[in-house]
Amino acid sequence: MRLDRTLALAALLCACATSSPDPARFDPVSADPPVDLANPAKLAEDVSFTSGGARMNAILYEAAGAGLHPTAILLHGFPGNERNLDLAQALRRAGWNAVFFHYRGTWGSGGDFSFANVLEDAAAVLAQVRAPAFAQAHRIDPSRIVLIGHSMGGFAALITASEHDEVACAVSLAGANFGLLAVTLTDGAASDATAQRFEQWGSGPIPGISGKALIADLHEHAAAYDLTKRAPALAKKPVLLVAGSRDTVARPELHHAPLAGAIAAQPGAHRLTQIVLDSDHAFSDSRIALTHGVLDFLAQECTAPSG
C-alpha cells in the first residue's frame, strides 16, 4: 500500500449535480451546477463566531441542494491577504459548504492576535460549526468537516486536525512549520528582523501587534508548534499537503518535505497525499491546478461520513 501519492489533476465528478445533462463531465472549477430553486446556493453574511469572548467576522458559502452537506473551514495565513475565496466558490459548486472567518485581532475581528490564539480560534470555530443548531440552520453534516488552511492557516489546520478526531480530513496549502521557524530565530539579529517584518505585515489588517510578542509566542511553544511531532496523529486521517516549488516563504525543502516524510514514516500510514505545483507561495499562477487538486482529494478521501 502506498504511503503517499501525487494526484492527477482531473475533472471532478460532483455528486450533488445529479441533474446535470452529463454529470460525468461536470467540472465545478469551470462550470455552474444546475439551479435548485427549492434549496438554492446562498451567501450567509450574518455569520460570526466567538473565541476567548471576542467576536470574529465570518461568511458562509452554502451549497445548493436539500440534505446535509460536507463543510470546509478555510483558515487564512498571516496576515490573510490571500483568502482562497476562489477555492471557496468552487467548493460550493462541488456541493460543499465553505466557512471563512478572520482570527481574533485581524481584519476587524475583536480580541487580540497571537499564534496561540489562532489555534484556539480554529478549534472554537470547529466546535461552533458542528453545534446542532448551527449545523441544522446551514445544512451542515457534522461528521464531514474538513480544515483547509494556507501558510499559517495550513499550520493551524494540521495542528487542529491532530488534536480533534472530529476533523475528517485536513488540507495544508504551502503550510508553514512554526516550530521550525522558532528554531531558526535563536540569533538576536534574526529575531529582531523577523519581529520587524511581522509588524510590517500586520500593519492595517492586524493593528497594534507586537513583533517581539509574536517571537516570544514562537519560542514558548516551539515544541508544540513543530508539525513533524504531530505526524503520528496526522497519519491516522486523510491529509493533503500542497507545496509550491518556487515558494520562498515556506520553502518546500524545509516545511513540506520533512513533514511529508515524517507522516509517511508512521506505521500503517497510507492516507497522505502530496502535490507539488510549479508555483509560488500563493499559487498565483496555478489557481486552477490547485483547486482541481483540492477538490479531487476531497472527492476521493473525504466524502464518506466519518462516523
Residue 131 above 60 pLDDT?
yes
- Look at residue 305 and tell me whether its pLDDT is greater than 90: no
Contact predicate 93/99, CB 8 Å: no
Contact residues for 115 (Cβ-Cβ < 8 A; gap 6+): 152, 178, 214, 217, 218, 221, 225
Average pLDDT over residues 272-280: 98
Query: In this structure, are strands 272-277 and 69-75 parallel, antiparallel, or unpaired?
Result: unpaired
Q: What is the pLDDT of residues 67-102, one digit of tens each?
A: 999 999 999 999 999 999 999 999 999 999 999 999
To which residue does cell 476531497 refer?
Answer: 298
Average pLDDT over residues 140-151: 98
Give yes or no for a contact between 166 and 92, defined as CB atoms under 8 angstroms apart. no
Count CB atoms within 10 A of the CB of residue 101: 27
Is 116 a residue whose pLDDT tops 80? yes
The answer, yes or no, to whether residue 221 has pLDDT greater than 60, is yes
Residue 199's beta-bridge partner residues? none
Average pLDDT, the chain: 90
Does pTM surpass 0.85? yes
Kindly tell me if the per-residue pLDDT of 9 is higher than 50: no
Residue with the bigger pLDDT between 47 and 12: it is 47
Joined together, the cell numbers standing for residue 108 give 476587524
Residue spans of alpha helices (H) in 164-273: 178-184, 188-202, 211-220, 231-234, 252-255, 257-264
Per mean pLDDT, which range of 7-16, 96-105, 255-264 is the poorest?
7-16
Is the model more confident about 26 or about 118? 118
Whether the per-residue pLDDT at 11 is higher than 70: the answer is no
The CA–CA distances, whole Å, from 250 to 155, 156, 176, 265 equal: 11, 14, 5, 22
Domain ranges (residues) in the chain: 40-301
> To which residue does cell 476533523 refer?
167
The CATH number assigned to the domain with range 40-301 reads: 3.40.50.1820
Tell me: pLDDT of 1 over 80. no
Cell triple for 75:
483558515
Least Cα distance to 214 among 199, 228, 226, 229 occurs for: 199
pLDDT tens column, 24-54 = 679 999 999 999 999 999 999 999 999 999 9
pLDDT class of 10 with cuts at 50, 70, 90: very low
Buried b (16+ CB within 10 A) or exposed e, 293-303: bbbbbbbebbe
Cα 147 to Cα 224: distance, rounded to the nearest angstrom: 19
